[in-house]
Amino acid sequence: MTAKQTTRNYCRVLNPTRYGRNAICRLHDNAYGIAGGGGERERAAADRALYRRMRAAGDPMAGAAWAACRLWGWFFFNYHPGRWAWRGQLVRRFVAGPR
């Protein structure tokens, strides 16, 4: 965060100041991403909650945000079997990069 920025931006793609998106995205991050993940059901529940909160706030981007979260989360935050290179929790923190 910069000196002028007082609130962390949790909503990177959409304008965080509209429809209470920043607070909704923070709740979503805390429910799944920051909390360390989980399985497909936990991620799906966090994504559904995100969608419901955005719809309740009257956000016209709720459906698109839900679809993007499902796809992005499947690639980067979910542990799923298969031969894909993407194996979860942000690709195992970018293959255990620098600490």
Residues 16-53: tens digit of each pLDDT: 889 999 999 888 888 875 655 667 788 888 899 999 99
Whether 9 is covered by a domain: the verdict is: no
Whether 8 is covered by a domain: the verdict is: no
Whether 49 is covered by a domain: the verdict is: yes
Whether 85 is covered by a domain: the verdict is: yes
Count how many domains the chain has: 1
Structural domain span for residue 39? 21-96
> Tokens 């920051």 sit at which residue?
34
pTM (two decimals): 0.71
Whether 92 is covered by a domain: the verdict is: yes
Are the beta carbons of 30 and 49 closer than 8 angstroms? no
Q: How far is 81 from 87, CA to CA, in rounded Å?
A: 8
